[in-house]
């Protein structure tokens, strides 16, 4: 079991800045995120879009903001547990036991939920039998593209992910690209490239088709795809990839005995504590009178929640307020040279 002064759930902008605040005041923390990358909505939903209302930064993209926040954390060597969703939270005397879906366990007096709009989950195929093949023959994201070499891969979707992977994997695999409409949503240059590869016989294109059924015992043999809700076609395939975008689900957070107001967690505005002692909620997931779902609000909420964590993590010490400009202790923590 990993012992830490505070566990942060969510590596979006709010969770990242909360980690900075915890480390500045001398507390340890670790961060868990369901996504396989750091940055929350900024990186998943709008990496290239310009943001104009981060204090003192006239303009930066979602990706630039994320890399600045990561850089700001560099002195602290924070441990991230990416691709893991926090599933269970259980009280153990004065502490909390936390467990992820990958079995990682933490014990901590403080949990900061910076879960945004919940965990991002891939939108999945509707036929129930697909679950049996998930992460074996059916995938919603790609970790190691080499497993598809010299295989037949059926890719579903009409956006950039489906098009880009069809183009990329067509170099070493036989590709079926299947989309329920005639028109693709992806960038025109990728659509043109796919059409060119189709003409060259490197991609088989099926438009107005949807997945109807999957067939196989331990691994996938073939799939049935249906044209315009009428004609069925059976095609041999080794792998199926689905790229239908992400949905946001409050998910396990709903089962942690926290007061909920619609899909948010009500908190006080002194400590950003929930109805459970030692569990705080900050960023988009929290609610209180006047709450603004803006990144700058999440930064402020993280700063206050971090100070509240200090009391539970160091019950015998007194928290001393200090400025970063003048505190030697903080400069030491940051690894800044003191003249
Ligand atoms: C298109 C768009 C444009 C925007 N433009 C602006 C703007 O100009 N200015 C501005 O201030 N704001 C803007 N926002 C809003 C801003 O992005 C959010 O306020 C901000 O991302 C909230 O940060 P967060 O860290 O609270 O949550 P998020 O960024 O949502 O991050 C939460 C993270 O928690 C993870 N998570 C949730 N549950 C679990 C769990 N159980 N286990 C593990 N991980 C979990 C999720 O996977 C996610 O990565 C915009 C939003 C969108 C969608």
Q: Which two tokens stand for residue 209?
A: 């088709």
Torsion of CA 113, 114, 119, 120, to 10 degrees: -170
d(CA 46, CA 40): 10
Mutate to test the pocket of ligand 1, among 115, 251, 292, 303 (most ligand atoms within 8 A of CB): 115
Within the chain, how many helices (H) and strands (E) appear? 8, 23
* Cα–ligand 1 centroid distance for 118 (angstroms): 9
Where are the alpha helices (H) located in the chain, listed in sequence order?
13-24, 40-44, 62-73, 130-133, 160-169, 188-199, 295-313, 328-334
CB atoms inside a 10 Å sphere around CB 192: 10
Half-sphere exposure of 144 (CA within 13 A, CB side): 5
What is the reported pLDDT for 141? Answer: 85
Distance CA 200, CA 57 (A): 48
- CB half-sphere exposure, 67, CA atoms < 13 A: 6
Return the axis-axis angle of helices 13-24 and 295-313, rounded to nearest 10°: 40
Per-residue CA distances from 88 to 109, 119, 269, 304 (Å): 15, 14, 26, 25
Per-residue pLDDT, 119 = 77
Closest among 18, 17, 147 to 5, alpha carbons compared:
18
Q: Bridge partners of 238?
A: none
Question: At a CB cut-off of 8 Å and minimum separation 6, what does 172 contact?
Answer: 148, 149, 150
Please choose from 55, 85, 116, 292 the residue to mutate so as to test ligand 1's pocket, defined by most ligand atoms within 8 A of CB.
116
User: What are the pLDDT digits (tens) for 84-110?
Assistant: 999 999 999 999 999 999 999 999 999
Q: Which residues pair with 107 in a beta bridge?
A: 3, 97
Q: Which of 143, 110, 35, 75 is nearest to 274 (CA)?
A: 110
Among protein residues, the one whose CA lies closest to atom 6 of ligand 1: 51
Query: Around Cβ 191, how many Cβ atoms within 10 Å?
Result: 16
Q: Which two tokens stand for residue 19?
A: 């980690």
At residue 311, the pLDDT reads 96
Choice from 33, 41, 258 to test ligand 1 binding pocket (greatest atom count within 8 A of CB): 41
Per-residue model confidence (pLDDT) at position 218: 86
Instruction: Give the closest residue to 280 by CA, choosing from 37, 113, 77, 119.
Output: 113
pLDDT at 120: 78
| CB atoms inside a 10 Å sphere around CB 253 | 23
All residues at 6 or more sequence positions from 269 whose CB lies less than 8 Å from its CB, including other chains = 288, 304
Which residue's CA is minimally distant from atom 10 of ligand 1? 294
Buried residues in 302-312 as b, exposed as e (16+ CB within 10 A): bbbbbbbbbeb
Residues 328, 313: Cα–Cα separation, whole Å: 22
List, chain by chain if needed, residues with CB within 6 Å of any ligand 1 atom: 9-15, 32-35, 40-42, 45-46, 51, 53, 85-86, 114-120, 251-253, 283-284, 293-296, 298
The CA distances from residue 117 to 11, 81, 114, 229, 240, in Å, are: 12, 19, 9, 34, 29
Amino acid 109: pLDDT: 98
Instruction: Indicate which atom in ligand 1 lies nearest the CA of residue 120.
Output: 47
> Residue 339's pLDDT is what?
72
DSSP alpha helices (H): ranges in 25-61? 40-44
For every one of its 339 residues, what pLDDT tens digit does the chain have, with 9 covering 90 and above?
999 999 999 999 999 999 999 999 999 999 999 888 999 999 988 888 999 999 999 999 999 999 999 999 999 999 999 999 999 999 999 999 999 999 999 999 999 999 998 877 889 999 999 999 998 999 998 878 999 999 999 999 999 999 999 999 999 999 999 999 999 999 999 999 999 999 999 999 999 999 999 999 988 999 999 998 788 999 999 999 999 988 877 888 888 999 999 889 999 999 999 999 999 999 999 999 999 999 999 999 999 999 999 999 999 999 999 999 999 999 999 999 877
Mutate to test the pocket of ligand 1, among 8, 10, 118 (most ligand atoms within 8 A of CB): 10
Q: How far is the CA of 325 from the centre of ligand 1 (A)?
A: 30
Separation CA 282–CA 271 (nearest Å): 10
Find the 235 Cα to ligand 1 centroid distance in Å.
Answer: 40
Ligand 1: centre distance to CA 98 (Å): 22
């Amino acid at each position: 079991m990993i012992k830490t002064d505070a566990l942060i759930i969510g590596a979006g902008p709010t969770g990242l800045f909360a980690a900075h605040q915890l480390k500045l005041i001398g507390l340890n923390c670790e961060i868990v995120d369901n996504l396989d990358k750091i940055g929350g909505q900024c990186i998943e939903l709008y990496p290239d879009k310009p943001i104009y209302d981060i204090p003192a930064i006239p303009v930066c993209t979602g990706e630039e903001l994320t890399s600045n926040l990561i850089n700001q954390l560099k002195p602290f060597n924070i441990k991230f547990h990416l691709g893991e969703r926090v599933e269970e939270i259980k009280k153990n005397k004065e502490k909390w036991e936390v467990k992820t879906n990958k079995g990682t366990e933490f014990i901590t007096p403080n949990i900061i939920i910076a879960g945004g709009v919940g965990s991002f989950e891939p939108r999945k195929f509707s036929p129930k039998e697909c679950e049996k093949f998930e992460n074996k023959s059916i995938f919603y994201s790609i970790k190691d593209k080499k497993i598809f070499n010299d295989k037949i891969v059926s890719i579903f979707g009409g956006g950039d992910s489906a098009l880009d992977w069809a183009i990329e994997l067509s170099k070493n695999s036989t590709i079926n690209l299947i989309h329920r409409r005639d028109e693709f949503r992806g960038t025109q240059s990728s659509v043109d490239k796919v059409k060119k590869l189709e003409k060259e016989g490197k991609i088989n294109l099926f438009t107005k088709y949807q997945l109807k059924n999957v067939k196989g015992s331990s691994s996938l043999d073939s799939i049935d795809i249906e044209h315009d809700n009428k004609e069925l076609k059976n095609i041999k395939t080794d792998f199926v990839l689905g790229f239908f975008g992400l949905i946001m689900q409050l998910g396990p957070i709903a089962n942690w005995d926290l007061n909920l107001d619609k899909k948010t967690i009500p908190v006080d505005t002194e400590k950003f504590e929930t109805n459970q002692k030692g569990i705080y909620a900050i960023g988009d997931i929290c609610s209180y009178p006047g709450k603004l779902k803006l990144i700058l609000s999440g930064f402020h909420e993280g700063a206050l929640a971090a100070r509240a964590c200090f009391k539970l993590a160091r019950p015998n010490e007194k928290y001393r307020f200090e400025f970063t400009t003048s505190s030697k202790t903080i400069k030491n923590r940051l690894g800044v040279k003191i003249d």
